[in-house]
Amino acid sequence: MIKFHKFTVGVMGGGEDVSRRTMRLAEQLGRLIAEEGWVLLCGGRAAGVMEASAKGAKDAGGLTVGVLADRHKGNASKYIDIAICTGMGDGRNYINVLSSDIVVALPGRAGTISEIALALKNGKKVILLEFDLGDVFDYYRQDGLLVTASTPEEVVRLIREYYV
């Protein structure tokens, strides 16, 4: 059987006020995603988790896709191979999650939480990497769609276990 689809991992997380620890985790996660031969998809901007995860993937020779909220490819991170301009603002969050086979969320604010909610609502598995959302999404935890990981290595193990 010929496989035409490359497994795509959506990495979501904060763009502003992101801790150094979260940036390191995002970069390491991006590197591991690339080493597995998976595509990294993110919001594409040169900021926060988007920039760090794309950098990690590019440094490891991976393919990166950035789904931009605006209409200008010039706003993409230099680590993005394929920039998709939507002109949709926050509406691009739907494209992010629906184009991902699985979503990994690192600490962020309302935009990241909206991506998590959209992914869960559409039946996508979400792995939280050091992102405590309290009990707001407990239904999805019980249903097995939402799981937690404490390291990028654990994220990759969980992805392999569930999908690959």
**Residue-number span of the structural domain to which 157 is assigned:** 8-162
Q: pLDDT confidence of 1, banded at 50, 70, 90?
A: very low
CA distances from 14 to 46, 49, 115, 127, 154 (A): 12, 6, 11, 15, 20
20 part of a folded domain? yes
**pLDDT tens digit string along 23-78?**
999 999 999 999 999 999 999 999 999 999 999 999 999 999 999 999 999 999 99
Q: Is residue 79 within 8 Å of 49, Cβ to Cβ?
A: no
The Cα 68–Cα 25 span in angstroms is 22
- Whether residue 140 is predicted with pLDDT greater than 60 in this model: the reply is yes
The Cα 145–Cα 127 span in angstroms is 8
Question: Which residues lie across from 145 on neighbouring strands?
Answer: none
**Residue in the block written with tokens 């979503």:** 103
**CATH number of the domain to which 127 belongs:** 3.40.50.450
Per-residue pLDDT at 163: 77
Judging by DSSP bridges, how do beta strands 82-85 and 64-68 pair with one another?
Answer: parallel
The Cα 103–Cα 135 span in angstroms is 19
128 part of a folded domain? yes
132 part of a folded domain? yes
Mean pLDDT value across the chain: 95
* pTM passes above 0.85: yes
For residue 134, count other CB atoms closer than 10 A to its CB. 6
Tokens of 8: 């795509």
Q: Is residue 68 within 8 Å of 57, Cβ to Cβ?
A: no
1 part of a folded domain? no
Q: Indicate the length of the chain as a whole number.
A: 164
Tokens of 132: 């405590």
119 part of a folded domain? yes
> How many domains does one find in the chain?
1
HSE (side-chain half, CA atoms, 13 Å) at 135: 0
